[in-house]
Amino acid sequence: MSRILLPIALFAALIAGITLAEVPRVATDIAPVHSLVARVMDGVGKPDLIVQPGGSPHEYSLRPSEAEALQKADLVFWISRDLTPWLASAIENLATNALVTELLEADGTIELEIREGALFEIHKHGEDEHESDAHAHHTGDDIYAEEEAGHDDHGAHDPHAWLSPQNATAWLDVIASQLSTTDPENSSTYFANAAAGRAEIDTLITNINVMLEPVRGGQFIVFHDAYQYFESTFEFKAAGAILISDASDPSPARISKIRARITDEGIDCVLAEPQFNAGLIATVLDGTEAKIGILDPLGSHLAPGAALYSQLIHDLASSLVECM
């Protein structure tokens, strides 16, 4: 009997190896996209992540293993060149045989235009707003210039679109469709996983709305204007942003104006990000009563995988509630 079982076992192992080899190789840009792709591929395979946790999507040096992942990819999913401009040429030169999906251009994606005037001006009304803007843009003490200079590299649309759970649900279907094109044998699994992922995100949206209800009406600002997709989904708008771009620090004049606005308007909460200089944050908040919280739009503190996306969105809401 053992003589019969051994060839059967070897044959089964060989077939399993062939099946595994046929699973498409998938490369993704950032951890939230990687998470959505991992959710759709659950039980079939695992995608590769290009920008590792803690890395900046705006500028990143490819490691040899990440370049290899692009070279071997059958499919690539990424946000857009507006988020990762350096990745466009890497995909073109390395992922020559891959089916490439730019999610910001995918069907069903909600796109929001960049808020050029978001620097603490979102909720201002009346004549003073126009006077302030005119002074800021037409005098030597240009409060906006340094932030806008770092922002000119972006296109017309805000690339932080993964922070919209509605976009995530649309992308799950796009991912399943593209995977099914390359791997039709597992199509039913991909679409079933996408449907389950959509249901999970729908529940997440409901739960977060409940979480936010006790603090609605409070005012908060963010350091980097990257959260309007989240704000729009949950109808909880920021009172402003200190920076449009994360490419430069605000000037002393801008810090002084921000500090005055925090005090004069009774801002409850200032939300920074892990990469921002703690000393700068302390300087901005000096003499105010605002609390400080931390938002992590990429989930750099979370383990990459299928569970990351929902945890990321939940943590954003939790940080906001705790700060306020």
pLDDT digits (tens, 9 = 90+) for 20-68: 448 999 999 999 999 999 999 999 999 999 999 989 898 899 999 999 9
Please tell me the predicted confidence (pLDDT) of residue 150.
43
Residue with token string 């992540």: 49
Give CA–CA dist 219/143, Å, rounded.
22
Which residues of the chain are in CATH 3.40.50.1980 domains? 2-109+162-206, 127-159+216-323
pLDDT of residue 246: 58
pLDDT at 131: 32
pLDDT for 247 equals 56
* Whole-number pLDDT of residue 110: 97
- Considering the four listed CATH numbers 3.40.350.10, 3.40.50.1980, 3.20.20.30, 3.30.360.10, the one that applies to the domain covering 2-109+162-206 is 3.40.50.1980
Strands 99-102 and 75-78: parallel
Q: Which long-range contacts (CB under 8 A, 24 or more apart) does 39-42 make?
A: 39/172, 39/193, 39/194, 39/196, 39/197, 39/306, 39/309, 40/172, 40/175, 40/176, 40/179, 40/190, 40/193, 40/194, 40/197, 41/179, 41/190, 41/193, 42/193, 42/306
Cα–Cα nearest to 37, from 75, 67, 1, 72: 75
**pLDDT 10s per residue in the chain (324 long)?**
444 444 554 445 444 444 444 899 999 999 999 999 999 999 999 999 999 998 989 889 999 999 999 999 999 999 999 999 999 999 999 999 999 999 999 999 999 998 765 555 544 433 333 333 333 333 333 433 344 444 444 567 899 999 999 999 999 999 999 999 999 999 999 999 999 999 999 999 999 999 999 999 888 988 888 999 999 999 999 988 877 665 566 778 877 888 888 888 888 899 988 877 777 788 888 888 888 899 999 999 999 999 999 999 999 999 999 998
**In the beta sheet, which residues pair with residue 33?**
none
Supply the pLDDT for residue 245. Answer: 60
The backbone region for 54, taken as left when phi is positive above 0, alpha when psi lies in -120 to 50, beta otherwise, is left
**What pLDDT shows up at residue 179?**
98
- The rounded distance, in Å, linking the Cα atoms of 17 and 52 is 28
- What CATH number was assigned to the domain covering residues 127-159+216-323? 3.40.50.1980
Helix (H) or strand (E) holding 271: strand 269-272
